[in-house]
Structure formats: structure tokens, C-alpha cells
Structure 1
Amino acid sequence: MANTGMYVGLDIGTTSVKVIVAEYVDRQMNIIGVGNAKSEGINRGIVVDIDKTVQAIQRAIGQAEEKAGIKIRQVSVGVPANLLEVENCQGMIAVSGDSKEITDEDVRNVASAALVRSVPPERQIIAIQPQEFTVDGFEGIKDPRGMIGVRLEMFGLLFTGPKTIVHNIRKCVEKAGLIVGEMVITPLALTETILSDGEKDFGTIVIDIGGGQTTTAVMHDKQLKFTHVNQEGGEFITKDISTVLNTSFNNAEALKINYGDAFPARTSASEEFPVDVIGKSEPVKIDERYLSEIIEARLEQIFNKSKEVLDEIDALELPGGIVLTGGAASIPGIVELAQEVFDVNVKLYVPNHMGLRNPVFTNVISIVDYSANLSEVYQLAKSAVTGEKVTQSQATVNYQPEVAHETSFEATEEFSVPEEENEAEGIVGKVKGFFSSIFE
């Protein structure tokens, strides 16, 4: 059940920065503001120029503030899956207090016990997610507070990431004049939000094809089991079109949007359109089939890289199949191509919010929805990581709207420069040993 209140999600993507302002009333999300600004200062999923990133955040925040009629002070910000590691954790304590009734402090203490481990100096703990508690041998407890017991155990998942990535994201948000309420692992929010209970339980793969990178995430047994990042995305398709057809990047982007199709069998070799070619005074006629083959080649490469890592952990055997989302997933024919490559059931996820029915907004909407549904137990466990005493969701902000009005939004996307080559291949080897038995 979502916590009532106002939430702001911030997605610092490689191609654009997106902001969503949402109000939750009676479990319903009402989006009242959105911002979308061209992303600068981001390369290969990480911040490489703090000042430019701050400016992009401020532009997106300004748009959202204007449309929502509020002043934004606190946000839930997404953390990408670059070099993310997931591992099991477990803690056990003796219940304090003479009454032996389990309190908030006991939950914090058992979470702290689960964090007692050696973390390399270049990495840091991003989040701890309690899965279940055991009280005096009784298992499957989601919230032990108020129960009587002598021994309390917690089983959960621990998420760690490169200290540089986490620090730079927080630095940019704070330098933009905002408070970080939650740092949300984007693929975790994505899988928790867009999948049904059955898909989470039996196992499903989510492939998020962004502008600058593609993230593959595996959800099984209602847990995020595995992530992989490929530093190729929608902008690489645009770059291929630009190179092959010898046209400008902007023209190539327009061709992809207006005429692009990922499945050549659906296109016609007789349907032609003009292309402004560099060095020629008159436009050159190009047919749909040729453009589609350019798009297909890059997407096949992206999908095959995901397939390689998924085959190593037998994830394609999971009954939930694959869910595609992200900005580049809106290319027509992409579902048919993915089915051909992966040979499993594939479907496209598109948000169902008025004005935002475009997969480019899936991540930021998921960040907001995930933050709104965080439990008090999660917040107590989180305080063991941060050292803060948390009594309510820090992602909730009680804004006083300056203007009350209805707003409609256009689902547009802005792009930045293409990314470099893949640097995340090594993650498979790191986590394969841990997850090798999961999908047997």
C-alpha cells in the first residue's frame, strides 16, 4: 500500500534527466508535474562532469515545478546498475528489553548485524532489503515489531555499488539545491513496479533499452537476482543510421523516429523517403527496408549480448519471459525481433499514465512508485546503513502547492552524445558463482 503524500522521482539518464511529481491519495498515483531535460555531463551511465549534470537537473526540476505549481526540495533519485552487486545477508540478535517485545530498535540492530561484513574500499552499501524475519524459530515474518521473542533473525538482500558513482549522484543532486530522500536502485524499482506478482514470483527478465545503455535485470522468487549493463542503447542506432547514410545525427534521429522499424520483414523495399546526405545538393531516396536493416543490425547485437549473459545463468528458462521497456523500446517491430533472438515470449511495457504513455518514462515513474511503497521496516533497516533514526519515509514531502490546476504532458525525449564501448562485461563472472544455483 502506497504511503499518502507527495513524491518526486529523479532519473539521471545518459541521454536525458527526467523528473516526475506525483501525489498519492487512496493508493492512487496522480502525476501533477513532469520535467525532461537533455542530459549533459553523463557518460557510460556515470557522472563525468558535475556542473553540467547539475544544470541538467535544475532544468528538469524547473519544468516540473512550473507544471506542478510547487517548490521541489526533496527527491528520490535513481542509481544505475553499473557494476551493481547483489548478495544475501543475514543477521541475528538477542531481543533487548525486559518485556522481550520486539521494537523498532531491535529491527535496526538486527539489520546492523546483517551488515557486519568486509566491503572493499572502492565500493559502498547502497541499500539493504529485508526479505523476512524469524522470531524464536518461527519463519516467514514480514514485520516482527510488537511480537514477543528472545531471538530475532533477519534475512535480506544487500546491494553494493562503486563509491564513485553513488557519491557523484548525491553530490549533483545536493549541488542542484535538493535533498536526497531515497537512493533507489533503478532496476530494482523497475522490476518491483512493472511486473505482476506472478511474474516476480516465477521469474521474469526485464530489458531496459535506454538512450545510452541497456540494462538487463532478472527477478525471481520476488527478489532481484541479477543485473547486467551493456553500454549500447538507442543512440547507437542513431549513430549507425548517421554513419551508413552519411547524414547528420539529428537527421538520423528523425529518420529513426518517423520511418524506423526493427523488423525488416514488416517493411517494404518500394516505400522510399528523402534523406539529406552530406556533400550532396539534392536529397537521396532511401527505402524502408534498408533503414530497417540498419536498425535491426544494432538491436540484434544488443540483444545477443544480453542473451549471452542470460544463457550463462539459465535465466531464459524462467516462465515469465522478457519484458522490454525504455526509450529505444518504442521502435516498431522490436518485440518481434526480440522474440526471434531470445526464442521466448516477449512483451512491451508502456506506462499507463495520461500524457506519459511512452516507455521512455518507465524508469522515473518506477522510482516514484517504488519510493511511495517503501515500508516502515525497510526504513528501519535503511537507518542501519545511514546511521539516521528514521520514523517515516524520507521520500515523502508535504508540499504546499502554489497553484492547483490540471496539466497535460507531451511524451518527448531529448538526447545527448553517444556513449563509448561496454565496460560492464566483468559483472557476470563476479555474480555467477552466487547465482549459479538459482535457476536450476
Structure 2
Amino acid sequence: MNNSEVCVGLDIGTTSIKALVCENVQGQVKVIGVGVAPAAGMSRGVIVDIDKTAQAISNAVAQAEEKSNVDISDVVVGLPANYLQMKRVHGMVTIADNGQSREIVNQDVATVAEEALTQSIPPERTIIDLVPTEFIVDGFDGIKDPRGMVGVRLEMKGTLYTGPQTIVHNTKKAVEKAGYQIKDFVITPIATGFNLLNDGEQDFGTLLIDLGGGQTTTSIIHDHQLKYTYVDPEGGQYITKDISTVLNTSFSNAEQLKRDHGFADSKQADENVQIDVDVVGQNEPVQYSEKYLAEVIEARVRQIFNRIARRLDKINAPKLPGGVVMIGGVAALPGITELAHQYFAGNIKVCVPDQMGIRHPRFATSYALGMYEDHLTDIDHLIKQTVRHSAALPQQGKTSHANEQLPVQPTKQSSPRNKQTTNKNKSSKRRSGSNKPSSLSKFKSLFNNLFD
């Protein structure tokens, strides 16, 4: 099978690297191959050793190739939310011929996007994405796709996302060294928030918590936009280290104990169930109760949840109708939802991909990346082509056309994708003229004050 018929999502995590081969079958994205390899050369979601990471990527993608019988040449790569910054941008062009209005075409959209990209970018940063919020034709706003309309003046409002050149360069270098080309870079909260949440969750507002191995990323999705992202520097790896230290066992043994016997909520663990643990310096295994192991795990998970809750209180985030959705390997711990209820309001659930072979929350990100490219609209592709062209040009000397800085958390912000689906695992395209229930006005007002 040719790679042009499929989309390969590559999730480069701190503890493992996952490659999913997805194919569109009669409008449904199906997973036809999975590859998983232990991560190497990673620290808190960032590549610190290109050679080691490249080898791990090669191992994961090779497994996916073998299982799917697909010759993989390019991949969609997720970028962590670390050190990302966002700016509002505005572009405007005159499209009239001799003062007469004419029909708007692809080139006009590309030209107005180029105007919006006219930014002064620090040399240590690079453009990652530009997400249009709306197009305006002769003063008529709220337009999602202006092509085919007639007008004299075309404007575009959007959000520009930039990241450190080091992170982007190292990721690109590692993927290319593994023997693959990058089809697209995607900020992971974009892929997960707008491919895993259903239309109502995206619209009314949902808190998405990605409990990864090296870090925990919390995102607020509201009105089909990514409103806020916070990266906590702790994840499942820290739970494993705690088990290793407290029980005096090796890291690999601690990881196995966490997976086989761990509970996030110690109330669900059994005091009478004893676990044999290979302790350093002991000839015979030492027994610990299942409840004691759970107490070690719970302490670290509580710390993570507590920091997230305090950060949300700091920005006065309201209770979201969509509740909380958790993904990532740590989300698989029994009792995680019960513990989360002590820190967050609303309905709380764990998102598990409904596909054979990946029914585990640790595959949620790679699955979302696999779906991402399939769900892009023509406008998305057009803007991305313009961004890639602009990013390849020297940025020094460019001045900002409209570069109001958004009030984001320093170095820990990410971006929205201008696409939606109609079912549980797919984002629905919004109609520009749709009306919202008045009950949501208070949420809109709070978010507008905070993020606008």
C-alpha cells in the first residue's frame, strides 16, 4: 500500500514513542498498524539526544510498517506545548480590479495570510502555525471560507504560534535521521482537543488533561478554540521514581508494579492483598500491601492535580459544562476519576480510543495525530502552505502588521485548529451563522476577558 493513501501519527513521548497508521475507510478513520518503542534521548517531552531519539523513532515506525504493510515515507509529528507563544494577527489586502469587486480565489487567501504573517520574530524562535479565526469581506465578518464571494477588501484575523527553533529543529532532525519526512507539525493539544472531544465538548467548554510519562499538559477547549494550556513538569515517570525510592526496588520493577498493581485512589486498594517486591540488597522478595503501593502513587497524583487546580483558580476558570477528559498512560490507573473529582468539577472521564489494538489512553495522542491531517479543510491546507513558505524565508527585518500579545502563561501555551467534527471522535465544521444558547454567555464573557 502506498503511504499517500494513509496518515501516520507520530507521538514522540518522554517514555515511549508511538506510531499509528490510519486509513480513511468510507469516511471513517481506521487504525491499520501500530508501532511502540521505548523512548530514548528525551527529557520532559523535549529531545535532548537526536541520535538516540532517531533510533527509537525508527524502531516504532518500522513496527507500524510491518503490521500495516504500508511503506511509510512521511509522518505527522506532534509538538509538545512547552515554550510555545501565541499572538493575535491581522492581515488586510485589496482585491479589487480597477476599483471593481471581484470573486475571491485561493491566491487572495494566501496573500492575506502572508500579510498576517508579517511579523518580527526573534531569531531564536520559528513560526509553527497560523490559525484563522475569521475572514472579513468588505466589513462582513464571521466568514470561515471567503472563496467564491465577491468583494473589494479581504481581511483575516487569526492566531500565530511560534516555538523555540531548538525544539522544532531537533524534532525535525531526529525524524529525518530516522529516515522519514515530516508531513506536518501539530501542537499536540490541537490534535487531541479537536479530534478526541465531540462537538458539544468543544463548543460548551471542556478541560483536557494529558497525563503523560514526562509531564502533564492541561488545556481548556471552549467555543471550538484552544483557550489555555498549562504544562506541569511531572508525569508518570515521577510516580515510578517514587515507587522505586520508597520500596527500594529497581526502576523497571517499580514501573511493572505501577502497571500491574497500581491504584490512583488508595481507598480502592486492598490492605489484605500482598505484593512480592524485589528489593535491592535482599535475597528474598519483600511483601508490601497493595494499599501501601497505592498510597505512594496517590501522593504524586494528588500533587499534580493540586497544582493544576491552583493554576485554574488563578485564572478564574469557570466550571465547564463538558467537564474533564483525561488521556495519557497515567489516566489508565484505576481510581483516577474518583481522585480527580476531589479537585475538578463536572463530569470526569478517561478517553480511550475505540479502535482494535489501541484501546488504552496512552494511544490517544497518536490516534488524534493520525486523524488530524484527514480532517483538515481546504482553507487549512492553503494557510499551512503559506506558513511553510513564510517560515522558510528570513524573518529579520519584518515588522508586525498587528501583533497584540495574548495574555498567556509564559513558555507554556499552545494553539487551536480551525476545524471541528460531528461525531464523538471527529470535529464538526461550524456554521458561521449559528446561534449559541444564552446560558453560555457568562462562559463566553469570562473567557473573552481572560484570553482576549
Given the alignment, which residue of 120, 123, 126 partners 2:125? 123
Alignment of 1:60 with 2:60, yes or no, is yes
Q: Which residue is 1:81 aligned to? A: 81
**Offset at residue 388 of structure 1 (A):** 7.8
Q: Which residue is 1:249 aligned to? A: 251
Q: Which residue is 2:187 aligned to? A: 185
Matching residue's letter, 2:335: G
**Offset at residue 426 of structure 1 (A):** 4.5
C-alpha distance in 2 between matches for 1:53 and 1:428: 23
C-alpha distance in 2 between matches for 1:118 and 1:126: 14
Q: Which residue is 2:314 aligned to? A: 312
| SS of residue in 1 equivalent to 2:55 | helix
C-alpha distance in 1 between matches for 2:5 and 2:134: 27
Q: Which residue is 1:374 aligned to? A: 376
Matching residue's letter, 1:232: E
Conservation of the 8 A alpha-carbon contact between 1:313 and 1:435: no
Q: Which residue is 1:279 aligned to? A: 281
C-alpha distance in 2 between matches for 1:130 and 1:300: 38
C-alpha distance in 1 between matches for 2:42 and 2:448: 33
Conservation of the 8 A alpha-carbon contact between 2:10 and 2:77: yes
C-alpha distance in 1 between matches for 2:413 and 2:94: 37
Conservation of the 8 A alpha-carbon contact between 1:242 and 1:249: yes
Alignment of 1:194 with 2:196, yes or no, is yes
| SS of residue in 1 equivalent to 2:322 | coil
C-alpha distance in 2 between matches for 1:438 and 1:319: 18
| SS of residue in 2 equivalent to 1:261 | coil
Query: Alpha carbon RMSD of aligned pairs, Å?
Result: 2.3
Matching residue's letter, 1:437: N
C-alpha distance in 2 between matches for 1:68 and 1:428: 36
**Offset at residue 65 of structure 1 (A):** 0.9
Matching residue's letter, 2:324: I
Q: Which residue is 1:438 aligned to? A: 450
Pick closer, same or farther for the CA change 1:97–1:67 going to 2, 3 Å.
farther
Alignment of 1:23 with 2:23, yes or no, is yes
1:351-395, CA deviations, whole angstroms, 9 ceiling, x for partnerless residues? 110111001100011011111111111111122221189xxxxxx
Conservation of the 8 A alpha-carbon contact between 2:207 and 2:218: yes
C-alpha distance in 2 between matches for 1:329 and 1:118: 40
Given the alignment, which residue of 221, 238, 241 partners 1:239? 241
**Offset at residue 319 of structure 1 (A):** 2.2
Alignment of structure 1 residues 290-309 onto 2, 5 Å = 290-309=292-311
Alignment of structure 1 residues 359-370 onto 2, 5 Å = 359-370=361-372
Alignment of structure 1 residues 323-338 onto 2, 5 Å = 323-338=325-340
C-alpha distance in 1 between matches for 2:300 and 2:293: 12
C-alpha distance in 2 between matches for 1:42 and 1:313: 31
Conservation of the 8 A alpha-carbon contact between 1:131 and 1:154: yes
| SS of residue in 2 equivalent to 1:119 | coil
| SS of residue in 2 equivalent to 1:144 | coil
**Offset at residue 428 of structure 1 (A):** 6.7
C-alpha distance in 2 between matches for 1:388 and 1:160: 13
**Offset at residue 5 of structure 1 (A):** 3.5
**Offset at residue 227 of structure 1 (A):** 1.3
TM-score by length of 2: 0.84
Structure 1, gaps ≥5 residues long: 390-423
C-alpha distance in 2 between matches for 1:161 and 1:96: 36
C-alpha distance in 2 between matches for 1:430 and 1:184: 10
**Offset at residue 44 of structure 1 (A):** 1.9
Alignment of structure 1 residues 210-229 onto 2, 5 Å = 210-229=212-231
Conservation of the 8 A alpha-carbon contact between 2:84 and 2:414: no
Conservation of the 8 A alpha-carbon contact between 1:314 and 1:439: no
C-alpha distance in 1 between matches for 2:162 and 2:451: 22
Pick closer, same or farther for the CA change 1:31–1:430 going to 2, 3 Å.
closer
Conservation of the 8 A alpha-carbon contact between 2:161 and 2:414: no
Conservation of the 8 A alpha-carbon contact between 1:318 and 1:439: no
**Offset at residue 242 of structure 1 (A):** 0.7
1:245-290, CA deviations, whole angstroms, 9 ceiling, x for partnerless residues? 1111111111111111111111222221211111122211211111
Matching residue's letter, 1:128: L
Q: Which residue is 1:10 aligned to? A: 10
Conservation of the 8 A alpha-carbon contact between 2:271 and 2:290: yes
**Offset at residue 96 of structure 1 (A):** 5.2
**Offset at residue 26 of structure 1 (A):** 2.1
C-alpha distance in 2 between matches for 1:374 and 1:201: 18
Conservation of the 8 A alpha-carbon contact between 1:130 and 1:154: yes
C-alpha distance in 2 between matches for 1:215 and 1:26: 33
| SS of residue in 2 equivalent to 1:37 | strand
Q: Kindly tell me the number of residue pairs found equivalent between the two proteins.
A: 401
| SS of residue in 1 equivalent to 2:207 | strand
| SS of residue in 2 equivalent to 1:193 | coil
Matching residue's letter, 1:314: N
Conservation of the 8 A alpha-carbon contact between 1:203 and 1:221: yes
Conservation of the 8 A alpha-carbon contact between 2:23 and 2:31: yes
Pick closer, same or farther for the CA change 1:217–1:89 going to 2, 3 Å.
same
Pick closer, same or farther for the CA change 1:129–1:428 going to 2, 3 Å.
closer
Which piece of structure 1 moves more, 94-103 or 147-156?
94-103
Matching residue's letter, 1:85: Q
**Offset at residue 159 of structure 1 (A):** 1.4
C-alpha distance in 1 between matches for 2:277 and 2:244: 10
C-alpha distance in 2 between matches for 1:33 and 1:428: 32
Given the alignment, which residue of 320, 337, 340 partners 2:342? 340
Conservation of the 8 A alpha-carbon contact between 1:267 and 1:289: yes
1:39-84, CA deviations, whole angstroms, 9 ceiling, x for partnerless residues? 1111121111111111111111111111111211111111110112
C-alpha distance in 2 between matches for 1:182 and 1:76: 5
C-alpha distance in 2 between matches for 1:34 and 1:170: 21
Q: Which residue is 1:110 aligned to? A: 112
TM-score by length of 1: 0.86
C-alpha distance in 2 between matches for 1:388 and 1:121: 14
Pick closer, same or farther for the CA change 1:16–1:252 going to 2, 3 Å.
same
Q: Which residue is 2:36 aligned to? A: 36
Matching residue's letter, 2:46: I
